[in-house]
């Protein structure tokens, strides 16, 4: 089996690559692994053939390079993050939509080729007004460019799957927390920062109110989503190949309480409140909770308590922060 991971240099991409290299896909061994990102991503320990490609997804030759060897499973995680996509309209659409469209075009124009295509979408496809808990049949209406780009791609995945050109699946990820390493430009980055930095003895900035509520899952859960999606029987999905992933609804105050329960008041004291109206405006348009019934029924799983999310980080990622 040949597996391609786009965005393999990112946090989830690296973890997914390591998991695929170590355990294969659905109990089946992987003989070839292609990892791609803007810079050549790190290569995990792997017994098969592996190629790490550094390329701009918008380059004209990107589709042909990525599809060399016709990978049976494609994980598409590559994207400009939410805050950057909002700040740079042209770059956001070029990477998050146009480049993906060209890749899908290259797939459909390859005779006899129909890969499993797992697209990393986002709960940012939903915008206000929406109910406190969003059901699976609620219509998405994004209020950011990033969410719009994700939703358009979901529709492309649906259409190409309907026509038999790919066997696609879009998984709407919760905000992934706690993200290890340095902060990125995502508008949601503070959700991880107010935990990650204090756990490492560093100050953190909180730009929104304690009452802000959001939908979370750990990096471990995210990797599990992708691995499960790779072998899922998609026939029960019908025309709608987009699934909102399960997660945990929590307020900023509940995040902070989980931090206090694990690391004490000294860690909480490292959080500095600095309201940012731009971040607050973006975040207030995001959903707070979902039923995620379709995904749960299909076997997708995530954490149910925020202290579980904190402990996943302490178990799997905290040493990298301490060494920073």
Which residues are catalytically annotated? 146
Q: How far apart are CA 190 and CA 199, in angstroms?
A: 14
Q: How far apart are CA 147 and CA 92, in angstroms?
A: 11
Phi (first) and psi of residue 244, to 5 degrees: -80, 125
Phi (first) and psi of residue 172, to 5 degrees: -85, 105
Q: Which of 183, 179, 220 shows the shortest CA–CA distance to 203?
A: 183
Q: How far apart are CA 103 and CA 320, in angstroms?
A: 34
Q: How far apart are CA 75 and CA 13, in angstroms?
A: 9
């Amino acid at each position: 089996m040949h597996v391609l991971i786009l965005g393999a240099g990112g946090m989830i991409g690296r973890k997914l690559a390591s998991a695929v290299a170590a355990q294969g896909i659905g109990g089946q061994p992987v003989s070839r692994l292609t990892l791609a990102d803007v810079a050549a991503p790190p290569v995990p320990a792997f017994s098969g053939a592996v190629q790490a490609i550094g390329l701009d997804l918008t380059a004209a030759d990107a589709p042909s390079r990525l599809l060399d060897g016709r990978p049976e499973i494609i994980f598409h995680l590559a994207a400009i993050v939410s805050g950057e996509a909002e700040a740079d309209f042209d770059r956001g659409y070029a990477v998050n939509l146009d480049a993906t469209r060209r890749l899908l075009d290259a797939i459909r124009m390859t005779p006899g080729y129909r890969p499993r295509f797992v697209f990393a979408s986002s709960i940012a496809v939903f915008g206000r007004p929406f109910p406190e808990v969003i059901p699976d049949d609620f219509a998405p209406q994004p209020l950011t460019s990033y969410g719009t780009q994700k939703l358009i791609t979901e529709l492309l995945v649906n259409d190409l799957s309907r026509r038999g050109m790919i066997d696609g699946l879009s998984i709407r990820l919760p905000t992934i927390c706690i993200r290890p390493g340095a902060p990125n430009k995502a508008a949601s980055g503070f959700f991880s920062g107010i935990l990650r930095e204090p756990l490492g003895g560093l100050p953190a900035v909180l730009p929104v109110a304690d009452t802000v509520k959001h939908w979370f899952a750990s990096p471990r859960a995210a990797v599990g989503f992708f691995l499960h999606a790779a072998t899922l029987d998609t026939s029960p999905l019908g025309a709608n190949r987009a699934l909102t992933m399960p997660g945990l609804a929590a307020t900023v105050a509940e995040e902070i309480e989980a931090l206090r329960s694990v690391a004490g008041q000294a860690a909480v004291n490292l959080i500095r409140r600095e309201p940012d109206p731009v971040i607050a405006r973006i975040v207030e348009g995001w959903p707070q909770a979902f039923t995620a019934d379709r995904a749960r029924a299909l076997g997708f799983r995530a954490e149910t308590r925020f202290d579980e999310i904190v402990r996943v980080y302490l178990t799997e990622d905290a040493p990298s922060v301490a060494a920073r």
